[in-house]
Amino acid sequence: MVVYVALVSRAQGITQTALSRVASAIQKQVLRDFGPIWNVQATVDSFPHLEDVPLGAWPIIVLDNISGGALGYHVDSHGQPYALVKHTAGWEQTVSHEALEMLADPFGNRVVAAQSVKPGQGRVRYLLEVCDPSEDAAYGYTVNGMLVSDFYTPHFFDPVRNPGVRYSFTGAISAPRTILRGGYLSWLDPVSRHMWQQVWFGASKQFRDLGAADLKARALRAHVDRVTTRDELTKGVPAAKLKAANASAKAHEKSSAAWAKALQAEVEQVAAG
């Protein structure tokens, strides 16, 4: 089944052209990189208004301001997923992050059983959030000049490390169930029924007890996004990384402009007979 993702901006300063470029880059990422690894088929398109989004598409909406725990994944009253992204530097990578995580786990409740990274906790159920462990912009990569999110592969939950295995698309993650600086990992402990996280937002990794999981909620992922603080989910992109991405984008724009000019001349020649 093909999934339809719709990108819409209600933020100031994002043109429809810019939105279309982001959608095109993420579409390429899904088709070339993510889809074959996670067995997903999807289209990613941009729309000028929410009213233009086709019925059944999963919207990702970019806003200037988002309060409290509203940032990230949600489920509407009909059980369909959507996501809210804040318009900050590097918002393109955040859109990629949300798109990939919706495609991997549309309803926010998909879990994978594996040994806990917390000593003595035994086997737990990890929430499938493919971008969180390496979500920091330092581990992103460019597609069509746009900075997009790294993501882990199904091998991320393997019991032991294998040197010949790819644990994330860029190779930044080098072992199962490993988080990188700026990333985190969430799971449900079936004994205590608490949600737990391992985070690396400061100088070192830490474990967090998020309290009793709301097992009646529509989506565990929405619950986790809500209790993970806003500042941690809106980290800025390092200046050097953003500069490199902008340079790549400008190079792509220059090439596209040259191609368009040449094609336009050929079209006019053919049309003139």
The answer to whether residue 255 scores a pLDDT higher than 70 is no
In one-letter notation, the amino acid at residue 21 is R
248 domain residue, yes or no: yes
Average pLDDT over residues 8-19: 95
In one-letter notation, the amino acid at residue 136 is D
Per-residue pLDDT, 223: 79
d(Cα 46, Cα 5) in Å, to the nearest integer?
9
Per-residue pLDDT, 230: 40
Per-residue pLDDT, 232: 44
272 domain residue, yes or no: no
Per-residue pLDDT, 1: 87
Asked if 130 and 152 count as a contact pair (C-beta separation under 8 A), the reply is: yes
164 domain residue, yes or no: yes
| Number of domains the chain contains | 1
180 domain residue, yes or no: yes
142 domain residue, yes or no: yes
Per-residue pLDDT, 221: 86
Structure tokens that stand for 94 in this block: 């955040």
pLDDT digits (tens, 9 = 90+) for 262-273: 656 655 555 565
pLDDT digits (tens, 9 = 90+) for 222-245: 878 877 764 444 444 555 655 666
What does 194-252 look like in DSSP terms, one character per residue? Answer: EEEEEE-SSSS-EEEEEEE--TTSS-HHHHHHHHS-HHHHSPPPPHHHHHHHHHHHHHH
The answer to whether residue 250 scores a pLDDT higher than 80 is no
d(Cα 95, Cα 100) in Å, to the nearest integer?
9
108 domain residue, yes or no: yes
Asked if 129 and 99 count as a contact pair (C-beta separation under 8 A), the reply is: no
Structure tokens that stand for 246 in this block: 């902008």
The answer to whether residue 52 scores a pLDDT higher than 70 is yes
C-beta neighbour count of 76 within 10 angstroms: 11
35 domain residue, yes or no: yes
**Given the DSSP bridges, would you call strands 58-63 and 2-9 parallel, antiparallel or unpaired?**
parallel
Residue 103's domain spans which residues? 2-267
Residue 132: strand, helix, or coil: helix
pLDDT digits (tens, 9 = 90+) for 123-181: 999 999 999 999 999 999 999 999 999 999 999 999 999 999 999 999 999 999 999 99
Q: What is the reported pTM?
A: 0.85
d(Cα 199, Cα 201) in Å, to the nearest integer?
6
273 domain residue, yes or no: no
pLDDT digits (tens, 9 = 90+) for 91-133: 999 999 999 999 999 999 999 999 999 999 999 999 999 999 9
